[in-house]
Every structure is written in C-alpha cells, then in structure tokens.
Copies of this chain bind each other. A is one copy, B any other.
Amino acid sequence: MSNMIAEILATGDEIRSGALIDSNSAHIAQQLEEAGVEVIRHSCTGDDLDVLASILREIGDRSDIAVVTGGLGPTADDLSAEAAATAAGVDLVLDNKALGWVEEAFEKRKWPMSESNKKQAVLPEGAEPLYNPVGTAPGFLLKIGRCSFFFLPGVPFEMRRMISDTVLPRLIKMQGNHREFHLSRTITTFGLGEASTNERLAGLTERFPGIKLGLRAKFPEIHIKFYVCGNDEGVLKKMMEEGAEWIAQKMGNNVISPQGASMEAVVGNLLNQKKATVAVAESCTGGLVSHWLTNVPGSSDYFLFSGVTYSNQAKIDVLGVSSETLKEFGAVHEETAKEMADRVRRISGATYGLSTSGIAGPGGGTSEKPVGTICVGLATPSAVEGHWFGFPFKRRSRNKQIFAMTALDLLRRELMNDDS
C-alpha cells in the first residue's frame, strides 16, 4: 500500500434506517484497495446537516482520501454540498461548469429542467466539479482539513462509472512514485464447504508469504479470493500465477473457474467448444437450471429446451417418461431422473440431457426421501447416469440453488472429462 489512507461515507436516510442495504461502500472499498489505497473505515449517516458536517470534519482530520456517496440530488434532503461547505467553512456558489453539465444532461434526455435542478450545480466555493456521464447530478472534489473528498451520486451505476472514470485515475496521479500495485484474483469453486476448503489450502501462506487469502461463501459456491501487493508489478503477477496454480491443484475438480467465471458461463463455454447442445428436464429446481443457463449472452447457441415438469402428468405427457417408472420408483429417484434426462435429450435432439427431481421443501419430505434429497440424471451420447444426493438444508430457496448447481456441476465434470 502507498501511505494514503481512505474512508468511505454513505449518506441517506434509507441507508441509515436500514430500508436499503449499502452495497456502494463495498464496491468503493474494493476499488480503492486495488488502487493501493488502504480503506480504514466506512461510515453511514442520514440526511441531517449537523451530523453530516461533523462527520466530514472528523474524516478531514484523520484521512487523506474520502469518497462520499449520495445527497447530490435536487430535493431538500440532498444535503451533501451544504454539509461540505459548512465543514470546510466556505460559501455555496453556483458553478457555471457544473450548470452547463446539468443543462446538457437534461437536454440529452429531453426532460424539462426545473428551477430546483439548478441546485445540483450549487457547490462549495473552491470545489472542483466532477463530470457525471450517466446522470444529471455532477459530483465534486473538495479539500476539507487534510483530506481530499470525492462527492459522488448514490445511484450505484452512476457512482461506479465515476469511480472508474474519475476517482481512480486521480488516485494514481496523487500517489505518484509511491504507487503500490494491488492485484487480486478469484477462483470459483463448488463441492467443498468453507471448513474443508480452508483445510485444503492450509500451507498456502507458508508457501507464498506475500499472498493474502480470503474465502467468500457465495452460496452454493465458495469463492477463493487472494491478493498480493507491492511495488514490482512483474513480481506480483508471477506470484499470483504460481499461487493460482497451487490453489487449483489443491482444489482439484472442485474448481469451477480459475478466472472467477460463473458455473453457467463455464458450462456454456465447454458446450460451445464442443459444438454441443443441452436440454433440461427440471422438476424440483422449477426452472432455475434453465434460468441460470440462459443468463449467459449467446446461450441460445447451445441451450435448446427445458421442460419444467412439475406434475407427474407433465413428465408423462411432455417428456414421455413412462407411468410404470413413476409408479415403481416415484418421481424422486435416480431411475426417474435418468429417464427424464434421456427423454428430454431425445425429444430435443440435444447432445446432453440433464434432469432434476427432488424435494425442495419445506413440505413433501419423508423419512426415506427427506427435504434436501435430489436426484440428477445426465444423458450423454453414450450413456445415461443417475445420481442421488442428500443436502441438510430446510429452506426451499437454498435447496433449489444447491440442487441446480449440483446438476450443472455434473454436466461440467462430464464436459471436462469427455475428450471426444
């Protein structure tokens, strides 16, 4: 890290009162840390002029950089400019550059500009207006105490754009020769819990003393995030590569992607590489497997069809599963899952057929097939497999997610192993 320390302040009654979760601050922290600036503290407060001004003064006394989000709009409870002026002990003035931007933004959108929108161009004296390419409210940069404050809009995509376009380039310039590089990378995994992942990775920090490790449970995946920082970008990149390889080896085929890609993107890539297609027959996952697969742009190249056959009758009528199979084994069984996968593959003409049938809960469990039971069928050009898994979750949404991920993971492993 360089020697600069930073703080983040989120403003607004919605966040203060808990009506809205503040996701801006996490994004900003990540971006600042990757730019080599250490974030020491986040704060959040509501639309109260005195409290705001006093927090700005506090931050101005102890940090070098601050990013403040929210409070730049045209209404009476948008107080950021006024609070900043109070904290800095300066007046508010109409900034002509900012006014030009606001007028231009309204013109572009063909919106009528009201008198109150002019307020968005009224800034503390001495502030530098910051261009907002995707919204109507300009940001501004102001020194309060020893700290450079970036005031940005609270709308996430406006804030994100201004962080990358304006804040980061300036931070790099401010750091000059003291710049440190901060690299991070994420490896997405599935199949091992947090504790087992930790065990597998024991020894990493001894082997690579410069690497800092962070596990992040993004249910049902585990994301392994690791960081390095220092002055020599080349050395750091090499260390990252070696670290990634070491981790990938320890995690084996639980690795979804060493580049942090999602399960559905990896499965889609593998299908594309093989010029193969897939069709799905879903029962308990209720469409989630298809929803994930079709989240990938271009998925129509390999995703042909999914039959969400919730009722037994639909399994028989649409897929052509035999009523004997359903009678003999029940809807939740490997044999039924196999027949679903095989049938959906045949009727769609896909290379692979994938199926799910299970008990997502909260009702419907029995002692033999409790909530959390999932059967997955996978039909390939050469075989049809059935798998049975039991998960300990009671919540429907958790079960649907881990069921769908388990099915996609079986397809992924098949595509990885099959070298045809």
Q: Which of B21, B42, B361 has a CB less than 8 Å from the CB of A26?
A: B21
Q: Give the distance in Å from the alpha carbon of A287 to the alpha carbon of B280 in the complex.
A: 11
CB distance from A40 to the nearest CB of B (A): 6
Q: Tell me, in angstroms, the Cα distance from A2 to B46 when the chains sit together.
A: 18
Instruction: Contact check, B40 vs A42: say whether CB atoms are below 8 A apart.
Output: no
Complex Cα distance, B15 from A214, in Å, reads 11
Question: SS class of chain A's interface: helix, strand, loop or mixed?
Answer: mixed
Contacts of A261 on B, CB cut-off 8 Å?
A: none
Q: A41-B43, A287-B294, A363-B297 are in contact. Are A347 and B317 (CB under 8 A)?
A: yes
Shortest A77–chain B CB gap in Å is 11
Say yes or no: is A125 at the interface (Cβ < 8 Å to chain B). no
Chain B residues with CB under 8 A of A314: 279, 304-305, 348
Interface size on A, residues (CB 8 A): 72
The residue on B at minimum CB distance from A29 is: B18
Contacts of A291 in B (CB 8 A): 285-288, 290-291, 400
**Chain B residue with Cβ nearest A27:** B18
On whether the beta carbons of B307 and A318 are closer than 8 Å, the reply is yes
Asked if A366 lies at the interface with its beta carbon under 8 angstroms from chain B, I say no
* In the complex, A91 has a CB within 8 A of chain B: no
> In the complex, what distance in Å separates the CA atom of A307 from the CA atom of B41?
50
**Contact digits for A19-41, partner B, Cβ 8 Å, 1 yes 0 no:** 11111011111110100000111
* Residue ranges of A at the interface with B (Cβ–Cβ < 8 Å): 13-23, 25-31, 33, 39-46, 48, 51, 55, 214, 216, 225, 279-280, 282, 285-291, 293-295, 297-300, 303-311, 313-314, 317-318, 347-349, 361-363, 396-397, 400
